[in-house]
């Protein structure tokens, strides 16, 4: 539970129960801490009441409500951080994160969790996956889904030049996604050695360690003064968005998935930049069949982004480690 800025406590809470016929209860095989959790953790979002944390999850179905038809107890399922019915027109267009019934998942940093709208939110694997693929499947539920969406939104194509702003877990997944989509050049803006190494392993071709104007100049130099065809903005600050805009060539699209905090646009510079913007909370539910297949076939290994495992009882240390950038992404063991 998050009580306030910097105050995470592991507590005993009642086991979740089916509240609606469309719910499922799952036993978590894995869960993790998200970059998004740090907005309230750092006091940048208000915490009105203790928050049950955790929205990235996969596990075994324990029980389902009477109206659930697509998953059954005993199956391994991957969820999405956005709860959706997957039937409303916005869902049909592939924007399940704007579902009229949307809720945001909470309470998954726990042994059990209740998932509302189970039919629209959960995807079962064909059979129980081997244990060593659990983390890759966990990544699908948010961090990979979000990085993938950033690349998809930015229209990464075969042969594209892609610039990734942000070397957090989502940025690194954006690199992996851009590589899978056939980008020939992937430039990552990163200042941290371990993250640079992982970015290179996921397919980055160039690293730019500078930020701001110097960083933009370095990207311009690498691209013959043109800029990227696609830019992935994976941070959500004014500085990162400004960098993304300045690294985009005219006609480029910026896929932005960092939740903006204090980001403002100047209409005139936006007009003259002549770029497209496509962002939002990732409709993770659009991608699972494909992403689950890639993980199960061992074509991608997004689970490598988790670099610190701790018992759930030590969740507070897990938050501190990520906050202080000692860890890219923490995995509280459930
Ligand atoms: Zn998340």
Residue 325: pLDDT band by 50, 70, 90 thresholds? confident
Phi and psi at residue 178, to the nearest 5°:
-60, -40
Res 333: pLDDT: 82
Closest by Cα among 28, 296, 33 to 169:
33
Q: Which percentage of the chain shows pLDDT scores above 70?
A: 100
Q: Which percentage of the chain shows pLDDT scores above 90?
A: 82
CB 119 within 8 A of CB 71: yes
Strands 76-78, 57-64: pairing is antiparallel
Ligand 1 center to 81 CA (angstroms): 7
pLDDT single digits (tens) 174-199: 999 999 999 999 999 999 999 999 99
Least confident of 31-45, 143-157, 278-292, 299-313: 31-45
Work out the burial of residue 63: count CB atoms within 10 Å of its CB; fewer than 13 is exposed, 13-18 middle, 19 or more buried: middle
Q: Collect residues with CB below 5 Å from ion ligand 1.
A: 34, 36, 56, 142
Q: In angstroms, rounded to a whole number, what is the distance separating the alpha carbons of residues 235 and 255?
A: 11
Closest by Cα among 73, 71, 170 to 121:
71
Residue 278: pLDDT band by 50, 70, 90 thresholds? very high
Q: In what helix (H) or strand (E) does residue 26 lie, and over which residues does it extend?
A: strand 24-31
Residue 60: pLDDT band by 50, 70, 90 thresholds? very high
Ligand 1 center to 21 CA (angstroms): 26
Res 127: pLDDT: 95
What is the chain's mean pLDDT, rounded?
Answer: 94
Ligand 1 center to 100 CA (angstroms): 21
Ligand 1 center to 145 CA (angstroms): 10
CB 7 within 8 A of CB 58: no
Sign of CA dihedral 12, 13, 18, 20: negative
In the three-class reduction of DSSP (H, G, I as helix; E, B as strand; rest coil), residue 58 is classed as: strand
Ligand 1 center to 58 CA (angstroms): 13
Q: In angstroms, rounded to a whole number, what is the distance separating the alpha carbons of residues 304 and 149?
A: 19
């Amino acid at each position: 539970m998050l009580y306030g800025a910097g105050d995470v406590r592991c507590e005993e809470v009642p086991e979740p129960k089916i509240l609606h016929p469309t719910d499922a209860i799952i036993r978590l095989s894995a869960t993790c801490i998200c970059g998004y959790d740090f907005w309230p953790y750092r006091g940048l979002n208000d915490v009105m009441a203790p928050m049950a944390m955790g929205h990235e999850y996969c596990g075994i179905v324990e029980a389902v409500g009477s109206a659930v038809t697509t998953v059954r107890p005993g199956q391994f399922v991957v969820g999405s951080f956005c709860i959706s019915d997957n039937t409303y027109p916005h869902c049909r267009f592939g924007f399940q994160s704007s579902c009229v019934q949307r809720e945001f998942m909470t309470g998954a940093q726990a042994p059990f969790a209740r998932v509302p709208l189970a039919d629209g939110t959960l995807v079962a694997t064909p059979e129980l996956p081997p244990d060593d693929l659990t983390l890759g499947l966990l990544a699908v539920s948010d961090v990979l889904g979000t990085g993938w969406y950033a690349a998809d939104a930015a229209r990464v194509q075969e042969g594209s030049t892609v610039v990734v702003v942000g070397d957090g877990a989502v940025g690194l997944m954006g690199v992996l996604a851009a590589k899978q989509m056939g980008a020939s050049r992937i430039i990552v803006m990163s200042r941290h050695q371990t993250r640079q190494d992982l970015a290179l392993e996921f397919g980055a071709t160039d690293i730019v360690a500078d930020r701001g104007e110097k960083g933009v100049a370095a990207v311009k130099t690498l691209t013959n003064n043109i800029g990227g065809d696609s830019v992935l903005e994976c941070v959500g600050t004014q500085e990162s968005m400004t960098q993304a805009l300045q690294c985009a060539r005219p006609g480029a699209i910026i896929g932005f998935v960092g939740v903006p905090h204090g980001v403002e646009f100047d209409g005139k510079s936006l007009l003259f930049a002549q770029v497209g913007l496509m962002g939002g909370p990732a409709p993770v539910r659009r991608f699972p069949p494909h992403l689950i297949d890639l993980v199960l076939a061992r074509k991608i290994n997004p689970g490598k982004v988790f670099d610190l495992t701790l018992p759930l009882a030590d969740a507070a240390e897990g938050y501190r480690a990520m906050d202080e950038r000692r860890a890219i992404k923490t995995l509280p063991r459930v």
